[in-house]
Amino acid sequence: MSDSFQDREKSFEAKHKMDEEHQFKVVSRRNKLLGQWAAEKMGMSGAEIEAYAKTVVIADLEEPGDDDVVRKVMADFATHGVDISEDDLRAEIERLMGVAMEELKADFEALGKDHEQVGG
């Protein structure tokens, strides 16, 4: 293989890794926001909200997709007598995905002139 082909391959691999890390950060932020929202619906406050939000983030590590998070939050809603449908919960998950993306975008700090954010 030529050096330029190897360099290009490494570049694609690096971009893929960076994209995967970004997606993980967005989903983790979304899950934290979801946990905070759900905790407030269940009447929690202060440190309880942050502690519960962490449990939602951790719940998402059980399996790919959002079903593990949905199951956890819906079970917790049932335990606390919160009347929110699964459809409404999934709609909130979608809404918070956009919020999480915007928050991460706002948190972005350029590493220098060669690493400035593009398209935003």
Whole-number Å distance between alpha carbons of 57 and 51: 10
Q: Copy the structure tokens of residue 54.
A: 């962490």
Structure tokens that stand for 92 in this block: 């909130």
Is the pLDDT higher at 14 or at 24?
24
Q: Which CATH code for domain 13-106? A: 1.10.790.20
- Per domain, the residue ranges of the chain are 13-106
The model's confidence at residue 15, banded by pLDDT at 50, 70 and 90, is low
* In 51-119, beta strands by DSSP E: none
How far is Cα 30 from Cα 111, in angstroms, rounded to an integer? 25
Encode pLDDT of 65-117 as tens digits.
899 999 999 999 999 999 999 999 999 999 999 999 999 888 766 555 555 55
Residues 6+ apart with CB under 8 A from 27: 60, 97, 100
Residues contacting residue 3 through CB under 8 Å, at least 6 positions apart: none
The DSSP letter of residue 62 is: S
What are the pLDDT digits (tens) for 18-56?
667 778 899 999 999 999 999 999 999 999 999 999 999
pLDDT of 106 reads 82
pLDDT reported for residue 27? 94
